[in-house]
Structure 1
Amino acid sequence: MSEREPLLQHERPLPAVGDDELNSNHKPGPMEISRSQRHGILAGIWVATFLTSLNTTVVATLLPSISSDFQRSNQASWLGTSYLLATCTFTPLYGRLCNVMGRRGANQTAVFFAGLGTLACGVSGNMETLILARFLGGLGGGGIFTTAAIITSDMYSIRSRGLTQGIASVFNGLGMGLGGPLGGVISDRFGWRWAFLMQLPLFLLSFMLTSVNLRYTTPGKGKSTKEVLKRIDYGGSATLLGAVLSFLVFLSNRYNNEKPWASGAVWLPLALSVVFLIAFVLFELLIAAEPMLAPYMLKEKIPVLVGISNYLVATCNFAVMYFFPMWFQTVKLTNASTAGLHLLPNSVSMSVGSMFAGWMMHRTGKYKMINLIFGTFPFAAAVLITLMREDSGPVQLWLSIIPLGFGNAVVLQTMLIALLAHLPNSAMAVGTGFAQVFRGMGQVSGVGVASAIFQYTLDRELRARIDGPDSSELIRSIRHSARLVASLPPETQRHARDSYAIALRAVFTMAASATFLAYIVRLPIPDKKLEHSPKKAAARTREGETTPPSVPETPLESDDDDERENGVSPLNSKRRPARRLSTYESSDGGMDLESDEIGGSARRKR
């Protein structure tokens, strides 16, 4: 059997039934569907992926316009943190939902929530409703990425999957890159609401494409829906949501709304965040059947270091991404579309960095040296951004952010491979989820903590520069409406621009510190030769050599390929038993989260 032939052959012996009965009962598996159907599925999931990436960055350039309309610039960070909070806490659930609802059901549920949240954003009448709408959109946004990866795994072998995921990353990069500029252009011409409402036809298109094309099944027998539902970490998701949300409320009330420490609105959410955090840790360690934060990995050096690095890298990324356009709107006084365009080089460099890291690791079989060299780029970029001035040249204003996106993309790719290279094959999925939890919390912290630093510094600087009988009200207006800066009298405008520049510099300094600490944390992670061919590793084993328990597979060569060349389908392999957990279960088990051999267990059996 060749690599391009479907695993489920039409020519295999079939039961002796009539043609009519055969045609009515036989349903194609994921590798039996036609090319046009497969392309229709990819188009549907990639349109949704593009929109999700776009929604991550579109708000960065809309923040001044939205918050100024509602006179709530001091609460603008909630538009980012609410979306990321939902993504962080609910994304892990979609892996199980794929096995309960089926691939189409889980994907369309995610698209429905993302589209509904986007619609609610466009029609929101106040900041509170808009924040809730962003949270609703985040419920679907993270699920779109998860279900898209699982569906792609169904339809392609490991060898072909690398190229397909590479194309998917282009759509992800396009969304990230175009979100800022498109949001700014639409906001300047039609108003910020249309930046959300114009996405609705594309959400509908994605839903229709998957409704028509995502209709494959696979044979086998798996666990019941009830058994799968029991393995969903409801308690972990709830306690993590409570811990992060309570901490964000504390930051908002203390630094954005300027409430004193003695206020119950400040100390109560801070105390609740500690209580929820303790409950989350205890639930993950002692109670959850399949915890999202695998307890045994907390005892391992490499997973912990990778998790901390992911947290700090994500903090740096999102702190810069959400506040970089504001610098151009409040310090340089550019319009929203121009400010958004300054994010485009970062998004392009992220896509290039991801592909470069993958190519280099495949070519050299190593990751540490790549990390050591290009891991310095984000710190250099953050320093350049911190040093920006109103009279800085176009090279610094437009290109200083490029090393940030490129370097952090290389770091995230190499750290994922470093983690998987030190784990057994049975823990691949668990390890990926472990790293993703830290990355999600870092994204939320990057916006929430940066906003607290920004608001605190801005308030201090404005009070130091502006005085007079009505100074308190003027300062409040400047903090609550970033667009007001451009219309202030010359002297007051100068004070406001200087204050915004210093406050944003504090945010960028925090980002530089985070990425520097991430670099220090990664230094103890050892290098490990990445095997290019499992066949060679197997041959060395037969010759008596010892090999590591985990041999990372590359997109070009895998154990599946060995089985096919020997005439053994992975469907019938004892090492990878085929089980059907829903009508849309993977044919090769590559993303079978219920399999102890493939998906692994977050809690090891005693």
Structure 2
Amino acid sequence: MRSPPHTIPPEDHPDTVMDRAPTPMPHRGWILVALMLTMSLAAMDITIVATVIPQIVGDLGGFEQFSWLFSIYLLAQTITIPIYGKLADLYGRKPVLIGGSAVFLLGSAACALAWGMVPLIVFRALQGLGAGSIMATVNTLAGDLYSTRERARVQGWLSSVWGVAAIVGPTLGGAFAEYATWRWVFLINLPIGLAAIFLIARYLHEHQPNHQHHIDYVGAILMMLAGSAGVFALLQGGNAWAWSSAPSLIAFALTAGLILATILRERAAAEPIMPGWIWRERVMLGSNLGVLGMGLVMMAPGAYLPVFAQSVLGLGPISAGLVLASMSLGWVSASAWSGRLYLQFGFRDTALFGGVLMLLAVLGFVLLPPQPSVWLVTADQILLGAGFGMLSTPLLVGVQSTVPWHQRGVATSANMWSRYLGQSLGAAVVGALFNNAVQTSLANAPATLADTLPSAQDVMTALQAGSESLAVHQYLLSVFDGATRQVYVGMIAAAMLTLMLVLLVPKRPRVLEET
């Protein structure tokens, strides 16, 4: 049984120097640029691809399969994050990040050459396998290169990539779709990724422990199978089949069996992919469960706010995207500012403050007037982003600051994996809440409108077409407005649960390095 990381005497670690403080390294600015470029590949991928789906379907066909372009990418990325994190601890961050980025670029080039929807889906899975390395390793490297005092500022810079991507992605995608071809949304990754790989290869020189390792291949395979089954069950439940149907029950039963087999294997492995102390230590447990809850809440605006903005507020696609992107303004600012707070008040209390802001934001959306002003929605988004930034950064930095170098990859990847697992759960939860609210409202419609209302699947199409009568249009607006608010009501419960989970984090955990 492995000891908790903060109880191991520093002299027993092979990396004692790096445990105490980040090793000064020249050209840290260029390395940070490389990390931001690499992060932009993963950050921009979903938004830029989403804008060219009509063109892809028009060219390749396969309308009934296009949702897999997103599902398979998310699945491949999520299940590989813990494995890349372990490999980064065993062999160093540099080879793992360069290798994963190369896989992502290979997948991008293959997607650009796809001749059908099925090959494109397969190549998207290859992209996702590379994206798992990016998400696991970029934040780990930031923890290696910067001290506890500096990490909040650096996380602010990395978070800004997501905000920029939320604006640049749809704009570039729309431009490629209108003036060139959808294939350029994948080709654009090549110059960005190659520049990042060059900078990492040129400027990153890291210390690596020189001893023999044993990779737990069986554990890695079981973990991938368990993650695949679980995420697949969440993505398909409520969409391809009902939650209570036989396929859904079989998928979740298979997931439970694979999780049990993984736990048993990891307990017996000499160097497990995800060690038990990740879930026994209060710092790790509270932080990982906290960001899991945050990931769940993130899916409410991510999935339904742009559609709400277009259908209820009457905005165009670009304006709706900007409303969603406004969340990044609060996120980046709060993430950078959180460093001052967690150095004064501690990681847990700063994260709790972020959780309170998150709760106020989701509550504020529910209390907005019918068909609210776009400025009120934008202000609420900025507040929500501030809550996310103030919550996620202290939890991530706290995890990184309480473990030594050779455990930081595992600890960081577990934190990132938890967030993406939360988003997968959130996709299922918000979808169920929204669909149930729409169906209930249509079933309870006034008798004078009942025969003229579209089905639940066609509400969005009818709103955008605007061909129905004024009375029907107004009722559909109220249906969509009410369903979106119902999603946020569910997120209030998720935000409150997140606050309780963050309380598991010790008030003053022991930090292994100088600040």
* Shorter-normalised TM range: 0.7 to 0.9
Q: 1:553 matched to which residue of 2?
A: 513
Q: CA deviation at 1:179?
A: 3.1
Q: 2:422 matched to which residue of 1?
A: 442
What is the DSSP-based 3-state SS (H/G/I as helix, E as strand, rest coil) of the residue aligned with 2:197?
Answer: helix
Q: CA 1:206 to 1:498, structure 2 compared with 1: closer, same or farther past 3 Å?
A: same
Q: Distance in 2 between matches of 1:523 and 1:237?
A: 30
Is 1:47 the counterpart of 2:37? The answer is yes
What is the DSSP-based 3-state SS (H/G/I as helix, E as strand, rest coil) of the residue aligned with 1:359?
Answer: helix
Is 1:222 the counterpart of 2:201? The answer is no
Q: CA deviation at 1:338?
A: 0.6
Q: CA deviation at 1:184?
A: 3.9
Equivalent residue letter for 2:210? G
| Unpaired segments ≥5 residues, structure 1 | 1-29, 530-549, 558-606
Equivalent residue letter for 2:82? P
Q: 2:474 matched to which residue of 1?
A: 494
Q: How does 1:449-468 map to 2 (within 5 A)?
A: 449-465=429-445
Q: CA deviation at 1:213?
A: 6.5
Q: TM-score, normalised by structure 2?
A: 0.77
Given the alignment, which residue of 152, 168, 171 partners 1:182?
A: 168
Aligned-residue CA RMSD in angstroms? Answer: 4.4
Q: Distance in 1 between matches of 2:365 and 2:181?
A: 31
Q: Distance in 2 between matches of 1:140 and 1:394?
A: 37
Q: 2:20 matched to which residue of 1?
A: none
Q: 2:311 matched to which residue of 1?
A: 330
Is 1:380 the counterpart of 2:380? The answer is no
Q: Distance in 2 between matches of 1:517 and 1:72?
A: 40
Equivalent residue letter for 2:161? G
Q: CA 1:112 to 1:297, structure 2 compared with 1: closer, same or farther past 3 Å?
A: closer
Q: 1:547 matched to which residue of 2?
A: none
Deviates more, 1:78-87 or 1:404-413: 78-87
Q: 1:281 matched to which residue of 2?
A: 263
What is the DSSP-based 3-state SS (H/G/I as helix, E as strand, rest coil) of the residue aligned with 2:455?
Answer: helix
Q: CA 1:326 to 1:123, structure 2 compared with 1: closer, same or farther past 3 Å?
A: farther
Equivalent residue letter for 2:165? G
Deviates more, 1:239-248 or 1:319-328: 239-248
Q: CA 1:489 to 1:133, structure 2 compared with 1: closer, same or farther past 3 Å?
A: farther
What is the DSSP-based 3-state SS (H/G/I as helix, E as strand, rest coil) of the residue aligned with 2:326?
Answer: helix
Given the alignment, which residue of 48, 71, 75 partners 1:85?
A: 75
Equivalent residue letter for 2:43? S
Q: CA 1:210 to 1:368, structure 2 compared with 1: closer, same or farther past 3 Å?
A: closer
Q: 2:500 matched to which residue of 1?
A: 520
Q: How does 1:66-81 map to 2 (within 5 A)?
A: 80-81=70-71
Q: Distance in 1 between matches of 2:63 and 2:183?
A: 19
Q: CA 1:411 to 1:132, structure 2 compared with 1: closer, same or farther past 3 Å?
A: same
Q: CA 1:210 to 1:134, structure 2 compared with 1: closer, same or farther past 3 Å?
A: closer
Q: Distance in 2 between matches of 1:459 and 1:101?
A: 52
Q: Given that residues 173 and 347 in structure 1 are in contact (C-alpha distance below 8 angstroms), is that contact kept between their aligned partners in structure 2?
A: yes
Equivalent residue letter for 2:187? L
Q: 2:294 matched to which residue of 1?
A: 313
Q: Given that residues 61 and 325 in structure 1 are in contact (C-alpha distance below 8 angstroms), is that contact kept between their aligned partners in structure 2?
A: no
Q: Given that residues 92 and 206 in structure 2 are in contact (C-alpha distance below 8 angstroms), is that contact kept between their aligned partners in structure 1?
A: no
Deviates more, 1:505-514 or 1:389-398: 389-398
Q: TM-score, normalised by structure 1?
A: 0.67
Q: Distance in 1 between matches of 2:38 and 2:393?
A: 23
Q: How does 1:23-34 map to 2 (within 5 A)?
A: none
Show CA shifts across 1:572-596 (max 9, x none). Answer: xxxxxxxxxxxxxxxxxxxxxxxxx
What is the DSSP-based 3-state SS (H/G/I as helix, E as strand, rest coil) of the residue aligned with 2:432?
Answer: helix
Q: Distance in 2 between matches of 1:261 and 1:82?
A: 23
Q: 1:269 matched to which residue of 2?
A: 251
Equivalent residue letter for 1:276? L
Q: Distance in 2 between matches of 1:75 and 1:331?
A: 28
Q: CA deviation at 1:528?
A: 1.5
Q: Given that residues 421 and 551 in structure 1 are in contact (C-alpha distance below 8 angstroms), is that contact kept between their aligned partners in structure 2?
A: yes
Given the alignment, which residue of 349, 353, 369 partners 2:330?
A: 349
Q: Given that residues 296 and 426 in structure 2 are in contact (C-alpha distance below 8 angstroms), is that contact kept between their aligned partners in structure 1?
A: yes
Aligned residues with identical type, % of pairs: 20
Is 1:415 the counterpart of 2:395? The answer is yes
Equivalent residue letter for 1:265? P
Equivalent residue letter for 1:338? S
Q: 1:141 matched to which residue of 2?
A: 131
Q: Distance in 2 between matches of 1:327 and 1:230?
A: 45
Q: 2:271 matched to which residue of 1?
A: 290
Q: How does 1:503-582 map to 2 (within 5 A)?
A: 503-523=483-503, 525-528=505-508, 550-554=510-514, 557=515
| Unpaired segments ≥5 residues, structure 2 | 1-22
Q: Distance in 1 between matches of 2:71 and 2:214?
A: 33
Q: CA deviation at 1:399?
A: 0.6
Q: Given that residues 350 and 405 in structure 1 are in contact (C-alpha distance below 8 angstroms), is that contact kept between their aligned partners in structure 2?
A: yes
Equivalent residue letter for 2:320? A
Show CA shifts across 1:40-91 (max 9, x none). Answer: 6554443221232222555677789989999999988765554333222102
Q: Given that residues 72 and 121 in structure 2 are in contact (C-alpha distance below 8 angstroms), is that contact kept between their aligned partners in structure 1?
A: yes
Q: CA 1:386 to 1:66, structure 2 compared with 1: closer, same or farther past 3 Å?
A: farther
Q: Given that residues 309 and 519 in structure 1 are in contact (C-alpha distance below 8 angstroms), is that contact kept between their aligned partners in structure 2?
A: yes
